[in-house]
Amino acid sequence: MSDRLASLTSDLLAGDLPQLSPRDARAVGEATARHLASLPDGTRLGVGAAQAVVTVAASVLGRRPYSRLAPDDRARVVRRLAGSRLPLVSEYFRLVRGVALVVYYEDER
């Protein structure tokens, strides 16, 4: 779960914080994945299930597995999914974005 979550988070941050370098976005993505991995079991299971749905949706939108998309295509697909009105998908990205922004701004201090 952590590698995929780190990738999704860094691709999401590429649109939210364009001044962020890819290396820093990846670091924030990894920190976000570590934070979400420390959630209680039931919550972590729910986040993992939502992530599976998001990854499948990203693969469908990208027309190939998410991990094989070019970085620009991954960022485009993630931004499109993050803006969707699908309840599970939008809530997943709201959670990930919130945690990632807290991680980013806390590390900036």
8 Å CB contact between 69 and 77: yes
Distances 70 to 1, 29, 31, 39, 77 between C-alpha atoms, Å: 20, 18, 23, 31, 11
pLDDT 10s per residue in the chain (109 long)? 578 888 889 999 888 888 989 899 999 999 999 999 899 999 999 998 999 999 899 989 889 998 888 988 888 899 899 998 888 898 999 999 999 999 999 876 5
pTM, entire model: 0.85
Domain boundaries, the chain: 2-108
- Rounded to 10 deg, the angle between the 22-37 and 41-62 helix axes is 140
| Chain centroid offset of residue 62 CA | 15
